[in-house]
Amino acid sequence: MTGKLVVIGAGMASGRMLEHLFEADTRRFDVTLFGAEPRGNYNRIMLSPVLAGEKRYDDIVTHDADWYAAQGVNCRFGQTVTKIDRQAKTVFAGGVETPYDRLVIATGSAPFILPVPGKDLAGVRAFRDLDDVDAMVAASEKPDAKAVVIGGGLLGLEAAAALRGRGMDVVVLHLAGHLMERQLDPAAGYLLQRELEGRGIRIHCKAHTRAVLGTDGVEAVALEDGTVYPADLVVMAAGIRPETRLATDAGIEVGRGIVVDDAMRTSDADILALGECAEHNKTVYGLVAPLYDMAKVAAQTLLGQDAVFRPVQTATKLKVTGVSLYSAGDFAEAEDREEIVLRDAASGVYKRVIIKENRILGTVLYGDTEDGNWFFDLLKRGTDIGQMRDTLIYGQSFSTGAPTDPLAAMAALPEEAEICGCNGVCKGAITSAISSKGLTSLDDVRAHTKASASCGSCTGLVEKLLMATLGDSYNPAAIQPMCPCTELGHDEVRRLIVAKGLKSIPAAMQELGWKTSCGCAKCRPALNYYMVATWPGEAEDDGQSRFINERVHANIQKDGTYSVVPRMFGGLTTAAELRAIADVADKFEVKTVKVTGGQRIDLLGIKKEDLPAVWADLNKAGMMSGAAYAKGLRTVKTCVGSDWCRFGTQDSTGLGVRIEKFMWGSWTPAKLKLAVSGCPRNCAEATCKDIGVICVDSGYEIHFGGAAGLDIKGTEVLCHARSEDEALEIIAALTQLYREQGRYLERIYKWAKRVGSDSIKANVVADPGKRRQLYERFVYSQKFAQVDPWEERVNGKDAHEFAAMADFQMMQAAE
Amino acid sequence: MNDWIEIGKLDDIPRRGARCIQTGSGRIAIFRTAEDRIFAIDDRCPHKGGPLSQGIVHGSQVTCPLHNWVFSLDTGLAQGADEGGVRTYSLQLHGDRILIDAQSLTALSAA
């Protein structure tokens, strides 16, 4: 028998409930899902990282359109339910009636907007959904933009840090005497305040907001004490209240939230409520773990099973990159309680454990939160800590004599130890799922147990569990670290460089917790590329972090000599250039002169100390470096095209020269080789290049992602361009996207395979606005890139590279 | 008794970089680390003869530019799975002057 199930609210709680429902029985209900936002379920906890630019919206989608389609859910996103008719058992949305047998209200909560004058001005936002995030990002893009965040709780501080990271001037107004007073004691609140102030965020505690000022839009915020903070954006993060209006109007019992029993039933047995809008046992919940428990209970109730909601204690972490903060339980002072405190001011560590009768009641950790889960586990289990009282505060490895090796420490954790606080998943559930279901990756564990699938802060623990359970067979391919100096993968490093505005290699190593003092030969060149590509004109190119070829602008050979390749735009040369090359070959006794695959001339066997003199001669004849050594633009190969060829459809040579003159000097993740063929006979072999152009009568076919090296692969067609100008813009935009997304040493075809050609086309072809922006970023970076490195060195740059420091050959010959 | 010869100034070498001195029988690479420590080793990788002075310097190690062998500048020994080593030489830093043990030069030429 199928019944009609209507769900109001497409958030995290109802999403989880539907998952449980469909796992158990896919055909039991015809489901209609209403959501006020014009999109499906996403991980709302992760809006802060999206605001900070550390994640994208796509990364936090929990259920995409395919999922809803596969489950047969009738989605009514962007439609607000305005009325429930309990007699007729229908709901109304946009004038349309939808009947139900069972109804679930999961309307969540609405942000609490301070009832002050000016609260409705344009520029006042809550921090609740993706639209708010988009509005805040847009506000931050204005030069010298100022933000006032009202509320110094979890949400407000995450917003403040993210907006500051986007370059805004940020003031946080907080009513209480210290930040996050519900989760932190004053000492930890102070440390947090100091850290945030160190990042340039202004904190004003005991702030009573009087009014938001402005005429057409927000201009400032005024406090009762007379202070006025100018503002282009005001973020209201002063709390939330359950969204209960529908239930109230329908005559369902409502207290602070919609009152539910242990089975999540409201006062109307056919109507359930769950999530932030529900009130259970006089308590309303806002953290994700109890909401997920509610979802499970609600699904069981709908399936006719007995289930009881019992709230568990939850711990809190702040998701601000670079701030480690953990709190759990009750940490208020009282006469019958003792506390153990550890402070290390120099390293900014504060740990406090509150104890009553040898049992932990609560804990607050700042700076070093590694033992948070251990304390929390002791708390939940009510363990008698009398035996280890003296060493408790130093953490698990010290107190239990457990080894400091993190894997061994993981193995020593009890089976019931909670790993994922968001989803309430314990160690035993994860290890048994790994063993019984043959899980081998982080994504597998996320899919089967939900551990690490919400806020992600336990990802490291889950990975250690995978290692401890699978041993050497665990291959954490999901996030391959850049090198042994870090645990971060290339993509995370790039994202953080952008999000945190890291503009030098030492800054990146410091902020991202590099494990070595000065990196290695793998990460330094990668970081240097990311700096140069991300911050043109700002980050300094660090020669000592470049591979020797890019440091001395020639190609090292097996005997330690170098080869020199002058640039010939589009493969064109002249008699004068050839004469100059011949003269250089004679003068420096060049052993081998060879024509390359990219239509250039290679002079091999040149001694390093001769390089500047060779370049000087080539410069004099008007030639510059051909960058034959660069992870950057190498060559644009051409055929003779319509100038000479009887089949040529366009001026392929001219276009090739134009592209190369436009693009030379640019650094890319790996080498970049182009070609332009004047007709589909393709004499320039454009269809195995990184980017290729095939001229046709109607214009230009742009290809990309070919390979003819270790791998052989034909190109894929990107699009058709009608004019040379359009072709040039598309090629530059494609190159810029690759520059921004490619991992160091990743050729364009591998990048395309990884990100998918659809996403490339979406940026470069389908959206002319995005293409133009990419193009303009490329043009901007070229301002700093188009300097001939040979000429610089002929004029004395890096002279130390090309001469010995001292010569003792004569002295010894004399002895 | 050691005889020390000046080969150059500290600032002749970039941090995380190297310069060479020529001797009668080969090149010696003089390294300067990020922390201004200095080392001298043969400028010749035992694997395929790569010029170690051209490698990337990280910590007190250098990675050969030809095939990425990594050597300790301190001991001259290859790191990781690779086996082999290069000869090291004693240096002294007097103020900003770098001195090398002259015997190591003559011993080299005698060898």
In this prediction, residue A401 carries a pLDDT of: 61
Q: Is A122 helix (H, G, I), strand (E, B) or coil?
A: strand
In this predicted structure, the answer to whether residue A641 has a pLDDT above a threshold of 90 is yes
Pick B16's closest partner by Cβ from A525, A544, A548.
Answer: A544
Q: Tell which residue, A615, A608, A652, A656, has the closest CA to residue A633.
A: A656
Residues written for chain B: 111
Sheet-wide strand order for A220-223: A209-213, A220-223, A228-230
Percent of chain A residues topping a pLDDT of 90: 57
Residues in chain A closer than 8 A to B48 (CB atoms): 558
Cα–Cα distances in angstroms (integers) from residue A813 to residues A62, A74, B109, in the given order = 76, 91, 9
In this prediction, residue B107 carries a pLDDT of: 57
Instruction: Burial-class residue B110 by CB neighbours within 10 Å (0-12, 13-18, 19+).
Output: exposed
Cα dihedral A93, A98, A103, A104 sign: negative
Q: Which position has the higher pLDDT, A143 or A637?
A: A637
Hey, what are B40's tokens?
A: 């001298």
In this complex, do A544 and B15 lie within 8 Å of one another by their Cβ atoms? yes
Q: Which position has the higher pLDDT, B32 or A319?
A: B32
Residue spans of the domains in chain B: they are 4-105
Residues written for chain A: 815
CB atoms within 10 A of CB A646: 6
Question: What is the per-residue DSSP string for A635-664?
Answer: EEEE--GGGT-SS--S-HHHHHHHHHHHHT
Q: What is the pLDDT of residues A61-89, one digit of tens each?
A: 888 888 898 888 999 999 899 999 999 99
Determine contact, residues B43/B52, Cβ cutoff 8 Å.
yes
Round to whole Å and give the CA distance between A526 and A528: 5
Q: Kindly state the average pLDDT of the residues A525-546.
A: 95
DSSP letter for A727, please.
H
In this predicted structure, the answer to whether residue A498 has a pLDDT above a threshold of 80 is yes
CA angle centred on A457, ends A125 and A147, rounded to 5°: 25
Round to whole Å and give the CA distance between B105 and B24: 8
Decide if B58 touches A, using CB distance below 8 A: yes
CB atoms within 10 A of CB A283: 11
In this complex, do B7 and A805 lie within 8 Å of one another by their Cβ atoms? yes
Q: What is the pLDDT of residues A430-473, one digit of tens each?
A: 988 888 888 888 878 887 888 877 766 677 788 888 888 887 77
Residues in chain B closer than 8 A to A519 (CB atoms): 58
Q: Kindly state the average pLDDT of the residues A540-547.
A: 94
Determine contact, residues B102/A812, Cβ cutoff 8 Å.
no
Residues in binding site of A: 639, 645, 679, 683
Decide if B17 touches A, using CB distance below 8 A: yes
Residues in binding site of A for siroheme: 683
Q: Is A700 helix (H, G, I), strand (E, B) or coil?
A: strand
Q: What is the pLDDT of residues B86-100, one digit of tens each?
A: 999 999 999 899 999
* Position A554 confidence tier, pLDDT thresholds 50, 70, 90: very high
In this complex, do A806 and B17 lie within 8 Å of one another by their Cβ atoms? no
Residues in chain A closer than 8 A to B27 (CB atoms): 804
Hey, what are A221's tokens?
A: 């915020």
Hey, what are A85's tokens?
A: 């008719």
CB atoms within 10 A of CB A535: 18
In this predicted structure, the answer to whether residue B1 has a pLDDT above a threshold of 60 is no
Q: Which position has the higher pLDDT, A344 or A300?
A: A300
In this prediction, residue A458 carries a pLDDT of: 76
Q: Is A634 helix (H, G, I), strand (E, B) or coil?
A: strand
Which residue in A510, A520, A544, A563 has the most chain B C-beta atoms within 10 A of its own C-beta, making it the best mutation to test that interface?
A544
In this predicted structure, the answer to whether residue A375 has a pLDDT above a threshold of 60 is yes
In this prediction, residue A405 carries a pLDDT of: 64
* Position B105 confidence tier, pLDDT thresholds 50, 70, 90: confident
Domains of chain A, each with CATH number or no CATH: 3-110+242-302 (3.50.50.60), 124-238 (3.50.50.60), 490-546 (no CATH), 549-630 (3.90.480.10), 633-785 (3.30.413.10)
Q: Tell which residue, B75, B77, B106, has the closest CA to residue B2.
A: B106
* Position A345 confidence tier, pLDDT thresholds 50, 70, 90: low
Q: At what angle do helices A748-755 and A724-741 cross, to 10 degrees?
A: 80
Determine contact, residues B76/B85, Cβ cutoff 8 Å.
yes
In this prediction, residue A338 carries a pLDDT of: 81
Q: What is the pLDDT of residues A735-754, one digit of tens each?
A: 999 999 999 999 999 999 98
ipTM for the complex?
A: 0.91
Q: Tell which residue, A474, A471, A451, has the closest CA to residue A461.
A: A451
In this prediction, residue A813 carries a pLDDT of: 46
CA A106 to chain B, closest CA, distance in angstroms equals 56
Q: Range with the lowest mean pLDDT among A134-148, A505-519, B82-96?
A: A505-519
Q: Tell which residue, A611, A568, A567, has the closest CA to residue A588.
A: A611
Backbone angles phi, psi at A528, to 5 degrees: -65, -40
Residue A648, CB-side half-sphere exposure with 13 Å CA sphere: 20
Q: What is the pLDDT of residues A182-229, one digit of tens each?
A: 777 787 788 888 889 988 999 999 999 999 999 989 999 999 999 999
Q: Tell which residue, A235, A205, A35, A266, has the closest CA to residue A145.
A: A235
Beta strands in A146-276 (DSSP E): 146-150, 169-173, 201-204, 209-213, 220-223, 228-230, 233-236, 240-242, 258-260, 271-273
Give the gyration radius of chain A's Cα atoms.
32
In this predicted structure, the answer to whether residue A783 has a pLDDT above a threshold of 90 is yes
Q: What is the pLDDT of residues A269-290, one digit of tens each?
A: 999 999 999 999 988 888 788 8
Hey, what are A279's tokens?
A: 């009130």
- Residue of chain A with shortest Cα separation from B44: A560
CATH number for region B4-105 = 2.102.10.10
Q: What is the pLDDT of residues A378-402, one digit of tens each?
A: 888 888 888 888 788 888 777 666 5
Decide if B18 touches A, using CB distance below 8 A: no
Question: What is the per-residue DSSP string for A150-185?
Answer: E--SHHHHHHHHHHHHTT-EEEEE-SSSSTTTTT--
Q: Range with the lowest mean pLDDT among A418-427, A567-576, A654-663, A742-751?
A: A418-427
In this predicted structure, the answer to whether residue A662 has a pLDDT above a threshold of 80 is yes
Residues in chain A closer than 8 A to B110 (CB atoms): none
Q: What is the pLDDT of residues A21-49, one digit of tens each?
A: 998 877 789 999 999 888 888 988 888 88
In this prediction, residue A319 carries a pLDDT of: 67
